[in-house]
């Protein structure tokens, strides 16, 4: 008998965590259960009931090992546990036979969690507790110990995931919308290129199978995989290899008139705004000049524009005079050592036409324009075609 296929299943690690991550998750789960049991015992002094329900152990596994899972979010935790506890008590009171009561408790709790969109697998175990214990057929069980257990567990999950495990918990789940999209001249980033969360949601609906991962994380995973594939096929081309090094800049206090002369004279579409340490603090484009101009009756755009960029001779003025008053900030920058694959989402998805490039000290060293990126991609493709 060939036993190799069985070892193949055993060798697969169900969680993609480093040894350090696993140890931190174990420690976090143990601490959370200790705190929950201790707090509940303080609230339930003199109570004959348990200080903690066994399903909290399963909740700890989900919350501290799979915190990005839709099953680990606050509403599934709170709603799933409390609703299941109530259904378990109801079944224990109304169904005399333990076998039938057990089936009704589990089935009813799962149905309720699905309908209320708060599916949390440990909730089904909570529903069984009143049935198999025999002495927890009072609805006070929902509040003590389940309610206190859940409240403390949620607080511990937020604190430990954010401050110890460094996970963004809770994870925001995008709301699905059945409304028709509003047509606009501005194409949304998710419509331009790559795999969007909407694409992932549609694919999951076609599978008709639950995936224990949020659509946002899955979309990011697929996008990162695309970038890694791009790097493998295109080779190691850094931003420093394609950037324009001699970049004209302005400072926060540069007058609007001087900035316009610099842009117009150099036929530039954008100017980085830097501080005295040569770090990028903003960027100014043609649009930043135009957005302050309102053309009224009996006025032309050229007259209004010249009046805007012209220096005001008076001490006080009602219009912006310095670049810092009209610049866009903050600015997305890229390290010079970064692969050009990192530029693609910024330019293709977010619509940037130029990206400032900085060194290890975050000082401006160059600029990459869309034309530079397109040329690099074309040349690389051309070289591959030749070979």
Q: Would you say 61 and 30 are in contact if contact means Cβ atoms under 8 Å apart?
A: no
pLDDT, position 39: 94
d(CA 295, CA 298): 9
d(CA 146, CA 148): 6
pLDDT, position 382: 56
pLDDT digits (tens, 9 = 90+) for 13-66: 777 788 898 999 999 999 999 999 999 999 876 566 788 999 999 999 999 998
Look up residue 25 and give its two tokens: 């998750």
pLDDT, position 179: 42
Q: What is the CA radius of gyration of the chain?
A: 30
pLDDT, position 234: 66
CATH architecture of 240-386: Roll (3.10)
Q: Is 357 helix (H, G, I), strand (E, B) or coil?
A: strand
pLDDT, position 73: 94
Low-confidence ranges of the chain (pLDDT < 50): 175-193, 315
Q: Which of 242, 195, 243 is nearest to 215 (CA)?
A: 195
Q: Is 359 helix (H, G, I), strand (E, B) or coil?
A: coil
d(CA 316, CA 312): 8
Domain extent listing, the chain = 15-163, 190-202+213-234, 240-386
pTM over 0.75: no
Q: Would you say 52 and 36 are in contact if contact means Cβ atoms under 8 Å apart?
A: yes
Q: Would you say 283 and 327 are in contact if contact means Cβ atoms under 8 Å apart?
A: yes
pLDDT digits (tens, 9 = 90+) for 350-380: 788 899 999 999 999 999 999 988 888 877 6
pLDDT, position 136: 73
Range list of H helices, 2-147? 4-11, 19-43, 55-65, 74-94, 98-115, 122-133, 140-141
């Amino acid at each position: 008998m060939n036993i190799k296929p069985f070892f193949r299943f055993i060798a697969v690690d169900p969680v993609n965590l480093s040894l350090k991550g696993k140890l931190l998750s174990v420690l976090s789960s143990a601490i959370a259960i200790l705190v929950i049991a201790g707090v509940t015992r303080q609230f339930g002094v003199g109570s004959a009931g348990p200080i903690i329900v066994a399903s909290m152990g399963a909740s700890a596994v989900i919350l501290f090992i799979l915190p990005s899972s839709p099953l680990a979010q606050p509403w599934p935790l709170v709603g799933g546990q409390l609703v299941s506890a109530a259904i378990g008590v109801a079944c224990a009171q109304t169904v005399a036979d333990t076998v039938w009561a057990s089936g009704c408790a589990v089935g009813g709790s799962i149905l309720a969690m699905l309908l209320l969109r708060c599916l949390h697998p440990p909730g089904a175990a909570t529903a069984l507790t009143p049935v198999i214990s025999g002495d927890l057929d009072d609805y006070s069980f929902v509040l003590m110990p389940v309610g206190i257990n859940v409240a403390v567990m949620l607080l511990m999950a937020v604190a430990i995931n954010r401050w110890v495990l460094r996970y963004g918990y809770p994870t925001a789940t995008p709301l699905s919308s059945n409304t028709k999209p509003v047509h606009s001249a501005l194409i949304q980033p998710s419509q331009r290129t790559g795999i969007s969360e909407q694409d992932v949601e549609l694919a999951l609906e076609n599978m008709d199978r639950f995936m224990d991962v949020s659509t946002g994380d899955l979309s990011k995973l697929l996008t990162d995989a695309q970038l890694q594939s791009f790097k493998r096929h295109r080779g190691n081309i850094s931003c420093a290899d394609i950037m324009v090094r001699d970049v004209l800049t302005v400072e926060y206090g540069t007058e609007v008139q001087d900035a316009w002369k610099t842009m117009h004279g150099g036929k530039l579409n954008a100017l980085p705004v830097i501080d005295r340490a040569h770090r990028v603090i903003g960027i100014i484009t043609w649009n930043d000049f135009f957005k302050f101009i309102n053309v009224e009756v009996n006025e032309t755009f050229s007259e209004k524009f010249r009046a805007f960029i012209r220096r005001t001779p008076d001490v006080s003025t009602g219009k912006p005079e310095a670049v810092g008053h009209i610049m866009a900030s903050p600015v997305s920058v890229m390290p010079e050592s970064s692969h050009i694959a990192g530029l693609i989402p910024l330019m293709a998805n977010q619509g940037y036409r130029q990206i400032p490039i900085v060194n290890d000290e975050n000082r401006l060293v160059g600029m990459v324009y869309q034309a530079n990126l397109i040329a690099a991609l074309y040349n690389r493709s051309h070289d591959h075609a030749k070979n």
